[in-house]
Structure 1
Amino acid sequence: MRRRTLLTTALALGAVAAGHAPAHRPDPAHNDVLFIGAHPDDEAQNLATFGQWHEHHGLTTGIITVTRGEGGGNATGPEEGAALGLIRETEERAATAYAGIENIYYLDKPDFWYTLSAPLTARIWDEDDTLERIVHLIRRTTPHTVVTMDPRPAGQHGAHQLSARLAIEAFWKAADPTAFPAPGLAPWRAVRLLAQNPHFTHLLGPDESRKPRTDPHTGLPVLGVWSGTPSRVHRTTWAQAERTASRAYRTQGWTSLHPHVPTDPARLDSDWFTLLADDSRPIEAPVRDSARLRPRYAEFHAWAHRTGLPWLANGAQPDHPRRPSTTIPAVSRPPAGPDAYPGPELPLTHWEGDTPTPADCSATARLARHGDDLYVLVHVTDDRPGAALAPGDVKRHWRTDAVEIALDPRGDSDDTSTTFKTGIVPRTAPHGGPAAERDADHHQGPAPASMRVTATVTDPYRGYTIEARIPLSALPAPADPDRFALNILVYDSDTNDHTGQTRLAWSPHGTPQADPYVWGTAHLPGHTPAPPTPTTPPIIPTEAATSATSPAALTQAHRTGIPIPAPPRPHSSGSPS
């Protein structure tokens, strides 16, 4: 009866967030709603909702952002690390102001690179310290509704997963006087807990958000807030206001978004949220346990059961299709050109972005082994070149035309911190040749000195060919000739604004650049693996901007009375478990 009532009555906009009237209290730190995310754009898809709640119901929203996005791309310049983080903070504050948001609290945790692993993220962030900071901020900001990201692991950034997990735990721990006590901070009992649900975007028009919905995976109720509601403040729809705000996230390339959304109400979508808790109690659903879970999904399954929300793990592990397989033949001399590769030609197929024609973007790859060196040849047909990056700015190569080679030497990695990944651009600015780097792997940074890359770019431009020699000794573990795994990916940009439009992969399922579970297998006949070597921890960049260096954060702290965070405890990436 309780769940049926929620499904039929909680879909109205006011009922989603305004179960209680706005708290008219003099406390400048109070927010009625608190969003908890990982990066300075994670709230972007909900600005239409937060703006409506503010304009039509008088509800204020605050934001906790765990990192400043130092590990993300930069479409506007060469800044990275802490310098990029401060730029992204400025963008976030400008964008969220469209929704009437004034308070953004940064936890100063490092953003490293795109991973699907919440456990790896937890080690970099110091999970207990991050949870304690969130609990304290909930107690200081006293929200009645907490909104967070989707905690489920399939195809989602590990930082998104972990920020959602910590928000869920903090929702209840903030009300527990025994959890992270601090002088002057009383327990706080929030009422509602919502999680972003990105799986209903095909439901358009003003009527869809009013219909009862149930998430097909968890069985929990899903609430919709239509983006087409008019805004008196902006004199347009909230969908248009959100689009204008989103274009403020310039470093992420979002200025390439079309500046205008449809004016036809039937073509506008809604923001969707899974209702996890109401009246401070979890919403229950049937539990469907799965068998034969891979380690990353088994870890999430254990967390969901330990947290008292086991239904969140329903269907958490996707049905992976059969992975492609190939044989990498040995050759008697180093290959040069496609005729020197006796193995099969591997087709790279559409994975993400715009669906291309063969002339727009298509690619094939060939593999060979000479001694202890792996050779990879990738031929790309491409009708328009993307922006040429400077030789020292090829990090985050997906901003333009590029090839990525991902290698899992033992075929048993749960995340890419135990793999070798290299990104290669075929040309550099202003008139340079190819350049390579390592990305999101065991040792992100420059390509190893022993690696060799050549490239041929057609003139007039019709595409390019990249050939790479990768010593197997450069991999983080000896190559297992029977379990070796790899993926080859192509990024295609048809613009000069450092944004990509199309992505291809040999094994294109799911999130293939970050998920070793879906990479193809490759046999190395005749290869004798090197003796085992001691496992070394991955080298992961952890430079983070701090609130102490942010004028906006310092001004906010003075206004709200909430101090900026203390420096994070020393962290260690450690070796993946």
Structure 2
Amino acid sequence: MAVHAHPDDESSKGAATTARYVAEGVDVLVATCTGGERGDLLNPSYPPVEGGIEAMREIRRAEMASAARALGVRQRWLGFVDSGLPEGDPLPPLPEGCFAMTPLEEAAAPLVQLIREFRPHVVTTYDPSGGYPHPDHIMCHRVSVEAFETAGDPERYRGLGEPWQPLKLYFNHGFSMVRMRAMHEALVAADRESPFGEWIESRQAREIPERSVTTRIACADWFPARDDALRAHATQIDPDGFFFAIPRAIEAETWPFEDFELAVSHVPTTLPEDDLFAGIRPEGS
């Protein structure tokens, strides 16, 4: 189960890994916390959306369905409303009733119920920073950890299904500094413009700590599926923008992996790993 804050996050974080596991016969479910209805229109070629957040919600639901088909995953909505990304100094208050303002146990309840229904062995989500400081990403982390820790406890969240304890919890690391540096150096060496230079300088200037990568999944063969899923989110992804700025041949040669951090494991495993199911699969499978 991959838990994400908004539609499009499942296509930009760990998407090729999920497509690989689907191809191997794994049942993969994406849980999407919000409808992404307050997301900005980030594709300059997309026509203006009239009708406010209700219209955007319907568009993004259709985009999500197309992305899920591209990856081969199942997908469920947790039913919360996008909090938006507050901007300004001081920051404005978050909208009433949004996901990030929901009490933790109320926000975690539908995910606990979904875990007990789907019964995943592995759950992936974001690290405590959210990957970047969007309030929904940070809340997604909190909700995912709460659900992972309590779904197997019969005394918690009574009436939401039979307890089920997932065995491993991972954090996505799609934009790790080590990957960005490797891609930046490969692009410069190929005399190509790199989109990563300012990111690296910004993160260094802000002294953002680099989290540990414990698990690398080889998935270059599924980069095309990831790209199809990204393009499905036409309101959010510019087909001429950042996500497609790297020639795929250079990406596949330089960094044919997606990176994860093993946060919790209830099974023995040896680090580093090359499989999210290490310690779970029967030996020799």
Normalized against structure 1, the TM-score is what?
0.36
In the superposition, relative to structure 1, how do residues 84 and 69 fare at CA in structure 2: closer, same or farther (>3 Å)?
same
Q: Which amino acid aligns with 2:260?
A: F
In the superposition, relative to structure 1, how do residues 85 and 268 fare at CA in structure 2: closer, same or farther (>3 Å)?
same
- Partners of 1:182 and 1:276 in 2: how far apart? 28
SS in 2 for 1:186: coil
What are the within-5 Å matches in structure 2 for residues 6-45 of structure 1?
Answer: 34-45=1-12
- Partners of 1:123 and 1:49 in 2: how far apart? 27
Q: Kindly indicate whether the alpha-carbon contact (under 8 Å) linking 2:121 and 2:166 is maintained by their aligned counterparts in 1.
A: yes
- Partners of 1:153 and 1:250 in 2: how far apart? 23
Deviates most, 263-272 or 36-45: 263-272
What are the within-5 Å matches in structure 2 for residues 269-280 of structure 1?
Answer: 269-279=256-266
When the two structures are aligned, how many residues end up with a matched partner?
227
Identify the residue that residue 266 of structure 1 maps to in structure 2.
253
- Partners of 2:136 and 2:22 in 1: how far apart? 28
- Partners of 2:211 and 2:62 in 1: how far apart? 38
Gaps in structure 1 of 5+ consecutive residues: 1-33, 205-215, 231-237, 284-577
Identify the residue that residue 250 of structure 1 maps to in structure 2.
234
Identify the residue that residue 186 of structure 2 maps to in structure 1.
none
- Partners of 1:256 and 1:99 in 2: how far apart? 21
Provide, for residues 153-209 of structure 1, a one-character-per-residue CA deviation record: whole Å limited to 9, x for no partner: 6842111011011101110100010111116x11001111011112132346xxxxx
- Partners of 2:147 and 2:38 in 1: how far apart? 25
In the superposition, relative to structure 1, how do residues 272 and 129 fare at CA in structure 2: closer, same or farther (>3 Å)?
same
Percent of aligned positions that are identical: 25
Q: Are residues 1:201 and 2:179 paired? A: yes
SS in 2 for 1:43: helix
Identify the residue that residue 71 of structure 2 maps to in structure 1.
99
Provide, for residues 12-60 of structure 1, a one-character-per-residue CA deviation record: whole Å limited to 9, x for no partner: xxxxxxxxxxxxxxxxxxxxxx1111100111122110011111x3112
- Partners of 1:247 and 1:96 in 2: how far apart? 12
- Partners of 1:123 and 1:255 in 2: how far apart? 30
What are the within-5 Å matches in structure 2 for residues 463-502 of structure 1?
Answer: none
Greater C-alpha radius of gyration: 1
Gaps in structure 2 of 5+ consecutive residues: 184-207, 271-285
Q: Kindly indicate whether the alpha-carbon contact (under 8 Å) linking 2:217 and 2:257 is maintained by their aligned counterparts in 1.
A: yes
Q: Are residues 1:187 and 2:163 paired? A: yes
Q: Are residues 1:83 and 2:55 paired? A: yes
Identify the residue that residue 216 of structure 2 maps to in structure 1.
224
Alpha carbon RMSD of aligned pairs, Å?
A: 3.0
Provide, for residues 263-307 of structure 1, a one-character-per-residue CA deviation record: whole Å limited to 9, x for no partner: 2432444211110011269x9xxxxxxxxxxxxxxxxxxxxxxxx
What are the within-5 Å matches in structure 2 for residues 374-523 of structure 1?
Answer: none
Q: Which amino acid aligns with 1:223?
A: T
SS in 1 for 2:57: helix
Q: Kindly indicate whether the alpha-carbon contact (under 8 Å) linking 1:47 and 1:242 is maintained by their aligned counterparts in 2.
A: yes
Identify the residue that residue 47 of structure 1 maps to in structure 2.
15
1:156 counterpart (110, 133, 143): 133
Identify the residue that residue 39 of structure 2 maps to in structure 1.
72
Q: Are residues 1:239 and 2:217 paired? A: no
Q: Work out which structure has the larger RCO, using CA pairs closer than 8 Å and 6 or more positions apart in sequence.
A: 2
1:133 counterpart (110, 113, 137): 110
SS in 2 for 1:189: coil
Q: Which amino acid aligns with 1:35?
A: A
Q: Kindly indicate whether the alpha-carbon contact (under 8 Å) linking 2:217 and 2:258 is maintained by their aligned counterparts in 1.
A: yes
SS in 2 for 1:131: helix
Q: Kindly indicate whether the alpha-carbon contact (under 8 Å) linking 2:213 and 2:261 is maintained by their aligned counterparts in 1.
A: yes
Q: Which amino acid aligns with 2:76?
A: Y
Question: Which of the pair is proportionally richer in helix?
Answer: 2
Q: Are residues 1:60 and 2:60 paired? A: no
Q: Which amino acid aligns with 2:159?
A: A
Provide, for residues 193-242 of structure 1, a one-character-per-residue CA deviation record: whole Å limited to 9, x for no partner: 011112132346xxxxxxxxxxx9587552112332x3xxxxxxx11221
Question: Which of the pair is proportionally richer in strand?
Answer: 1
